[in-house]
Structure 1
Amino acid sequence: MRLPKLLPYLLPVLLFCYGPIQGQSNLIKAEKQKLASAKDSINYINSINRLGMLYHMRNVDSALYYGIRAKEIATRLQYAKGTADADNVIASVLYIRGMYQESLQLYTHALAAYRVQQDSANVSQVMMNMGNVYLSLGDSTKGLNLFRQVIRTGRKDSIMSLVNANYCMSNPRLSDDSSQYYIDKTREIASRYNDHRVLIAVNELESDFLFKKGRNKESLKVLVAALAEARKYEIDDQEIYILNSFARYYKNQPDSALNYAWRGYQLAKEKGYVLDLIPMLQDILTHTELLGNKDKIISVQKLLEATMAEENENLKKFVGDYIKYNTIQGDNAVLSIVNKNSRTKIWLLVSICVVSLFLLLFIYRLYQVSRKHELELEKLNLQILEQNKTLQVADEFKNKLFSILAHDFRTPLISTISIAGLMKDNPEFTKEEMEHFYGDIEKRASDMLESFDIILQWIKQQLSGYQYKAETLVLHDLFSESADIVMQQISAKKITLLNQIPMHATAVSDKEMLQFVNRNLLSNAIKFSPDGGTIIISCTQDDHLITVSVTDEGQGMDEQTLGKLFSVSSNFGSSTQHGAGIALSMCKDFIQKLGGQIWAQNVEPNGAIFSYSIPSKEEELTKKQLSRNP
């Protein structure tokens, strides 16, 4: 038996919002009035957390904002309950966004904090929410065990009505008698606390139960009564779900089902329940297709596509906000550890690595979620291809930005981890040697953080489209910075690096784009150079262009490889070469955006030379009209 999708999201709201039952809009309005009149920090934090929970079903971006804001203030004031409540808010937002593992991690932190505070009500609440997450992950054993643990506590407060209802909903092995028992138990507890929201929800559950037993008239009667109660108490979200239940009830009567589905959609749109709009439109499309009206089908498809596109944009904003949140968290951790002794510095390195890896995994998971939405959009693009061109181009540029962040931090992280491993495996190092290693680690970590902040700010600017930022750059210094990042690989292969670019050679260009190209050309030259080889960096300049070249003594390339070198589809002979091909295709794209061109050729008797040219002055770039969106 399946419960309409409301109880997993309903529980956190109830725990933060005691008092007379009101509609979601009224509760938000009332809480904002309390926030404006809050006279102390504790009440202010509590109010922000309540707003975060009230918004989590309607606008996840707003919910995330309130959760992050509350955690920032609570952490600064060392208000433990406020921090736990904020983790609970953020975890609920991540759960809704489909990031189940990250959600479980924050729920676990909140659960531990509530246990220390002996807050038994919130302990039960978080355990039930964790049960719902495990069910979403497909682990019904862990999910149901958590529900049973809460039930065995014997608590008699209003939380137990939801625990019983969720257990009934999530356990397909329950007999009809057991299901009816948990329905009655839920209604009994909700009636005792005059909890109209849960009473309405359990009526929907019972209606579904009666319908599956073939008692259609009784099912419809219960559903009609639930709708009247939802309207009476202005509980908007319940009214929306009940209208959808009517649509399911009349699924064999497309006209009636479509009527109720549209009413639910219009109410959700009016009240701002944006998270429900896509599944509602998908149901409306199904009912419309059964009626066979092609014009209406196309109209609904267009509306669905527009809604999905808007949700995709919201997801991009969510990515930016959460990356910013993790960055702040990481910075706070770094600042607190830097002031400790030498032994603590090793833990600082480990923390930076873990945070960085977590960010990479987070970006990859968000990329998967984004790709899921894109696949759905591509199905509709078969009929409405022209409307999606702008979205597809923007998404391609966004993916390149993510690739830049992953590509530029892999090598320095591996290098730093190698140094830490060397220190761990060789305890016989002298104090002077250890101090040397500590200094090296601290410098690398500081440089990495500084580079990370710069690149992250640049990527954040580019998420809304390509933005050219011109500045005067000293090319010799740019390659010196790039060489510092890969110095361990240079030393390991005993390569001689000759930076022959004159100190006076400058260009007016975008530093981050140009440095991405420089790092990739230098990295590739190191990869394909023999041990003990020489890499030469040189440049030439005239009144309009400056040309930079990186020459190595590797094996060179065949004609087929040269012809496809700067294409993503390049068929290189190894996975390493294939990764280089992807990076080189991005280098070509960036150099073209900077008004230049990039090429490669073999040199005799062996080796290769990679070159690019860019305008030496800003007015030359302006003439090429490159300030366009990607």
Structure 2
Amino acid sequence: MRSVYLHIIFLLFAGLLTSERLTAQDKVIRQLRNSLPQQTDSIVYTDVLNQLGMQYHLSNIDSCFWYAVKARGIATRHNDTRGLAGALNNLSIFYALKDNQTQAIEYGFKALLLYRELEDQPNICQMLMNLSVYHFFEGMKPESDQYLYQAMNLGKTLARDSIYSLVLINYASRFQDDSTHRDSVKWAVEKSKEIIRKYPGSRDIYYIQAFEADEWMKEGEGAKAVQRINELTARALKDGLILVAIDLLEHIDTYRQHGYPADAVPAKERAFAIGVQAGYLNMMLPTVIGLYRHYANSNNEAKKAYYGKALLEIVRGRLRLRSSNHMNYLDYFLKEQELNEWQLSNKVQEQRIARTILKRKNRQQLIGFLAGFLLLMVGFTLARYRSYKNLRKQERLLREMNDAISEKNQQLSVHDDFKNKLIAILARDFRGPLNDIIRVSALFRNKDMEQAEMQQIIDEAVISSRKTLVIFDNILRWIRSQLSGFVYSPAPCELSELFEQALHHTDHPEVSLHIPEGLCLAGDQEMLLFINRSLLHCAAKLSGGKGRVVVHAVEEELVKVSITFEVNDFTPAMAAHLFEYRRGDDLSVTLVICKDFMDKMGGQIGAEVEGKRMEVRYGLPRFN
């Protein structure tokens, strides 16, 4: 029983084609199922279905069958040869595990032909090994040996020789008890061990080391062999390889059968416990039978009842499978054959219909040739006229769409410009006051300050907060001016008072105001306050905080206000473009907003340079 069970394990692992240590199977299945809705390519989708089928054959063989059938249907519709080969491979494994080796051989051979068509050497080697197992279970040992030797010859040539290692282990397992193959089995084990060293974490090492333990037992070192099997079993359980652990524990019973006085009952009980825990109860029939007979002979009624109940459950499960599922799968196979016959018949009928339609068309063409020739010119003229009308209609629609797109682009450009300006204003005007508030708050944490110092800090925090509110009100005013529905209404604005307020927000130490008392401009007070504050900030920045800034106001046709200061390395050309937007310059954004405000109030604004003197000026009507 151990040898057969070992072959089943190799059959299952052969489909995985990996040398890495398994992660938890449910995690792999969950990842594959979650990736299914994300696949848009039918070939990749089919590949994921085949991977799911291969994973499910370890835990739910019916799910393996379902995914294989679905993958085969999609691959057939899209002429996906590789996907069809993978689906047929899964179907062959399904029928092998259902003990229908005839059907398993048929599907496996079809998969082998497709892999040969694709020249996929690793999968060809895998299918040859699987077919060897199928024929061995069917009792066709010569054919089984032939496929096995073909797999070994092909495995030698593979660049990735991990599959060759698996073939060698399968060979050693097949002929382990055959004395005529003793040397070749030893060679196969050593060669496989040599290959496995290239793939750390390969599960094949368990079987190599189990072979070594078997050799120790044959040489009379049974205790050492049993210890090695127990160590391997513990390691396999730690790695989550339940089937490997169960198979390893079967070695101890084999040692007992060969004469070594090993107590196989604890090993069988352990195998049964982990098998039940992992959901492999139906595969534990020989183990349960052995445990039931042992406790029946030893008159242990409790254990006898426990394993008798398990035996009854397994037998009932197999009877249910034999009476229901097996018939369902057979019915599916028969329906599949019937469907293929219907498809063939349908193709023949379609060909007959096509020939009949072709004859009818030829007769109609012959009869309508003369009439069609007479109507040709009329139809051609009508088609040209309709084409001309459609073309003009399309041109009109295209022109309208282009106009609409152009208008939207202009709106997007305006909105983007407005957004950039707003961000720049927030970054410049809010940075200073907020830094003051943060600094004052940090000083306020000092609990050792005197009352006067604390009061001074509180006053500074109040001043910074008021500055922030003033700036925020100005920005809100500008935002409202940019929104649709804004109506400009001029009001009297006393110029000297507005500049006095703007001085509170400038960093320049020397500013002189030469503004007549009572001079009022016709404008928006908040806009003018923003303009005055921004122009003083511009003078402070361009002059580097040096020299004197002089503000003059003269009444002519318009009230002209000029701000004069000294600059270095500033040309007339640069002054001419001072109020144009430049990306990355927050000052230019502020000056562009000033120009926007002047345009809304009907005024003028500009700048010029003479030598090292720069004059920034604007003009607005006097309020009467």
Q: How does 1:77-156 map to 2 (within 5 A)?
A: 77-153=78-154, 154-156=156-158
Aligned partners of 2:250, 2:37: CA distance in 1, in Å?
Answer: 36
CA contact (8 A) 1:2 1:169 kept: no
1:20 aligned counterpart, secondary structure: coil
- With over 3 angstroms needed to count, the CA separation of the structure-2 counterparts of 1:72 and 1:103, relative to structure 1, is same
The equivalent residue for 1:31 is: 32
- With over 3 angstroms needed to count, the CA separation of the structure-2 counterparts of 1:273 and 1:49, relative to structure 1, is farther
Aligned partners of 1:85, 1:270: CA distance in 2, in Å?
Answer: 31
Query: Is 1:218 the counterpart of 2:219 in the alignment?
Result: no
The equivalent residue for 1:272 is: 279
One-letter amino acid of the structure 1 residue matched with residue 339 of structure 2:
D
Following TM superposition, by how much is the alpha carbon of 1:254 offset from its aligned partner in structure 2, in angstroms?
Answer: 10
- The runs of 5 or more residues in structure 2 that have no matched partner are 354-624
Aligned partners of 1:56, 1:97: CA distance in 2, in Å?
Answer: 11
The equivalent residue for 2:237 is: 231
Identity of aligned residues (%): 23
Aligned partners of 2:350, 2:179: CA distance in 1, in Å?
Answer: 57
Following TM superposition, by how much is the alpha carbon of 1:221 offset from its aligned partner in structure 2, in angstroms?
Answer: 3.5
- With over 3 angstroms needed to count, the CA separation of the structure-2 counterparts of 1:41 and 1:273, relative to structure 1, is farther
- With over 3 angstroms needed to count, the CA separation of the structure-2 counterparts of 1:342 and 1:81, relative to structure 1, is closer
Among residues 315, 321, 325, which one is paired with 1:308 in the alignment? 315
Query: Is 1:323 the counterpart of 2:327 in the alignment?
Result: no
The equivalent residue for 2:5 is: 5
Among residues 194, 205, 225, which one is paired with 1:199 in the alignment? 205
Query: Is 1:158 the counterpart of 2:158 in the alignment?
Result: no
The equivalent residue for 1:522 is: none
- With over 3 angstroms needed to count, the CA separation of the structure-2 counterparts of 1:36 and 1:275, relative to structure 1, is farther
CA contact (8 A) 1:60 1:93 kept: yes
Q: How does 1:235-254 map to 2 (within 5 A)?
A: 235-249=241-255
Aligned partners of 1:216, 1:290: CA distance in 2, in Å?
Answer: 26
CA contact (8 A) 2:71 2:87 kept: yes
Aligned partners of 1:144, 1:344: CA distance in 2, in Å?
Answer: 49
One-letter amino acid of the structure 1 residue matched with residue 59 of structure 2:
R
Following TM superposition, by how much is the alpha carbon of 1:95 offset from its aligned partner in structure 2, in angstroms?
Answer: 1.2
- The runs of 5 or more residues in structure 1 that have no matched partner are 346-630
Following TM superposition, by how much is the alpha carbon of 1:117 offset from its aligned partner in structure 2, in angstroms?
Answer: 0.6
Query: Is 1:20 the counterpart of 2:20 in the alignment?
Result: yes
Deviations 1:27-76 (A, max 9, x none): 43443344454443222221221222222243322221221121122212
CA contact (8 A) 1:68 1:325 kept: no
Among residues 341, 348, 354, which one is paired with 1:340 in the alignment? 348
One-letter amino acid of the structure 1 residue matched with residue 10 of structure 2:
L
One-letter amino acid of the structure 2 residue matched with residue 109 of structure 1:
K
Aligned partners of 2:38, 2:261: CA distance in 1, in Å?
Answer: 50
- With over 3 angstroms needed to count, the CA separation of the structure-2 counterparts of 1:50 and 1:119, relative to structure 1, is same
- With over 3 angstroms needed to count, the CA separation of the structure-2 counterparts of 1:254 and 1:260, relative to structure 1, is farther
Query: Is 1:168 the counterpart of 2:172 in the alignment?
Result: yes
Aligned partners of 2:165, 2:261: CA distance in 1, in Å?
Answer: 35
How many residues matched?
345
CA contact (8 A) 1:151 1:160 kept: yes
Following TM superposition, by how much is the alpha carbon of 1:163 offset from its aligned partner in structure 2, in angstroms?
Answer: 1.0
CA contact (8 A) 1:2 1:170 kept: no
One-letter amino acid of the structure 1 residue matched with residue 224 of structure 2:
E
The equivalent residue for 2:183 is: 177
CA contact (8 A) 1:254 1:290 kept: no
Aligned partners of 1:7, 1:185: CA distance in 2, in Å?
Answer: 19
Query: Is 1:260 the counterpart of 2:267 in the alignment?
Result: yes
Following TM superposition, by how much is the alpha carbon of 1:17 offset from its aligned partner in structure 2, in angstroms?
Answer: 5.5
- With over 3 angstroms needed to count, the CA separation of the structure-2 counterparts of 1:40 and 1:70, relative to structure 1, is same
Following TM superposition, by how much is the alpha carbon of 1:108 offset from its aligned partner in structure 2, in angstroms?
Answer: 0.9
Following TM superposition, by how much is the alpha carbon of 1:240 offset from its aligned partner in structure 2, in angstroms?
Answer: 2.2
- With over 3 angstroms needed to count, the CA separation of the structure-2 counterparts of 1:210 and 1:51, relative to structure 1, is farther
Following TM superposition, by how much is the alpha carbon of 1:342 offset from its aligned partner in structure 2, in angstroms?
Answer: 10
Deviations 1:299-354 (A, max 9, x none): 42232112211232234124314523541453254134323169999xxxxxxxxx
Identify the structure with bigger relative contact order (alpha carbons < 8 Å, sequence gap 6+).
1
Q: TM-score, normalised by structure 1?
A: 0.50
Aligned partners of 2:236, 2:141: CA distance in 1, in Å?
Answer: 31
Aligned partners of 2:185, 2:18: CA distance in 1, in Å?
Answer: 28
The equivalent residue for 2:487 is: none
Bigger radius of gyration, 1 or 2? 2
